[in-house]
Every structure is written in structure tokens, then in C-alpha cells.
Structure 1
Amino acid sequence: MNSLILVAHGSRVESSNKEIISLVEKIKNKNKNNKLSISYAFLELAEPTIEESIKTQIKKGSKKIIILPYFLAQGKHVKTDIPNEINKLKNIYNNVDFVLLEHLGANDMIIDLILSIVDV
């Protein structure tokens, strides 16, 4: 089984965290490939943490974990914090294939999304 973990910043404002949870539920509902287990994690200020979410996916039998940083810009969290956390976990779970994708804002599809929102 493969897993996708959407990693968001996390917030002290619970409604912000619930938006991420809701988004992941919508992604799960659209996922036609039941072989992909989809979950979320927060970098800070909320749970589950990246490590907790990865442990959960491994317990479910995941052999490949794809991490998508849900960030629009490449700040310290995207450049340093998330890769460091993933590298630490790679050393612990060396029988699992970890794939760290570029942050959401680096994907050119975001341009089309923005233009479709403003209907240009």
C-alpha cells in the first residue's frame, strides 16, 4: 500500500486546522484508488505530527509514503524543517520508501487554478 500525507503548518486557531482535515476528507472521497491511504499532518501547533502520521501509515502497511507540503511558498519550513524531519524518519524506517514532493506553490498547476478562480 502507498500513502499520501498532506503536511500543513498547523495553527492555534482550531478552525484553520479543521480546514485541512476537511480538505483531506474531500481528497479521500475523490480518490478512486483504494490502494492509496490519504492522511494529514501538522508541522507545529496541532496534531498529528509528521512522525505520528507516518507511524500510523506504516502500521497500516504502507511501504511508500508520499509527503506533500501544503505550503504556497518555500520558506524555512519547506526548505529545512520538513526535509530534516523526513530524513530523520528515513533513518528509522529504512524499509519504507519516502517521497518528498515539492511544496504546493511550486506546482505550475497552481497558475491555472488561480486563473480559473478569477475566471480569466
Structure 2
Amino acid sequence: MQAIILFGHGARDVRWREPFDRLIDLWRQQHAGILVELAFLEMMQPSLEEAVTTLGTQGATEIKVVPVFFGQGGHLRNDFPVLLDACRDKFPNIHLSTTPAVGEDLAVLQAIVDFGARAL
């Protein structure tokens, strides 16, 4: 069974999480048959490991992690691979893969340009 994890940085201010909660709600409305969880690098829960655990207990055998970051900064180049490898070691029966940061996708960049144009 396939599943997805939307992976963000995390922040001290709990309101920072609100767009992520809306994002996961949209996902569930549009893709009800595919399990989804949020996970955060730091300062918020669940962690990547906790999200993999949750999805694994729900029967997920393939999980795609989508970094909801604007670009490939130090966290995605250095910290994220360590967390992902630790999860791969802990959950050998679950195939874990990842996408590039969402901000590297042309459609996402175009959506930002369109947002700016609508603001004028």
C-alpha cells in the first residue's frame, strides 16, 4: 500500500503549522484512498520516524516523502538524509523514497508567480 509524508521544517510558533494542516486536509479530500501524514524536521511533531511508524501500522509498504521546502538547503542536503536512512534501517519492510523539494518544481514556482500577479 502506498502512502505519502509531507515533510516540513517545523517552528516554535504553532500557527506556523496551519498551512500544513490545510495542505494535508486538501490531500485527504482529493486523494482519499492514499494515506498521508505530516512530519517535521524539528520543533514540531510528529517526527519523520513517528510518521513512518503511523503509516506502517496502517499497512503502508511504500512511502514517498515530499519535502515541503522551498529549496535544497542544508537541512535537506545534510539532516534529512540522515533521518531518512535511520528510518530505512528501522523499517526495512517499508520502501522509503523522496522527491525533490516542492519549491524546485516548475508548477509550484508558476503558482507563486500567478499568486503575485493576482495580488496586483
TM-score (norm 2): 0.91
Matched pairs, number: 118
Distance 1:111 1:19, change over 3 A: closer
In the alignment, what sits opposite 1:108? 106
Please list the CA deviations of residues 44-95 of structure 1 after superposition, one character each: whole Å capped at 9, or x if unmatched.
Answer: 0010111001100000000000000110021111111111101111112111
1:43 shift after superposition? 0.7
Query: How far apart, in 2, do the equivalents of 1:76 and 1:115 lie?
Result: 25
Runs of 4+ in 1 over 3 A off after TM superposition: none
What is the root-mean-square deviation in Å for CA atoms of aligned residues?
1.4
1:114 shift after superposition? 2.0
In the alignment, what sits opposite 1:58? 56
Query: How far apart, in 1, do the equivalents of 2:88 and 2:28 lie?
Result: 25
1:105 shift after superposition? 1.2
In the alignment, what sits opposite 2:42? 44
In the alignment, what sits opposite 1:88? 86
User: Mind listing any 5+ residue stretches in structure 1 that lack a counterpart?
Assistant: none
Q: Is the 2:103–2:109 Cα contact (8 Å) retained in structure 1?
A: no
Query: How far apart, in 2, do the equivalents of 1:18 and 1:50 lie?
Result: 18
The structure richer in helix per residue is: 2
Q: Secondary structure at the match of 1:24?
A: helix
Deviates more, 1:99-108 or 1:110-119: 110-119
TM-score (norm 1): 0.91
Q: Secondary structure at the match of 1:23?
A: helix
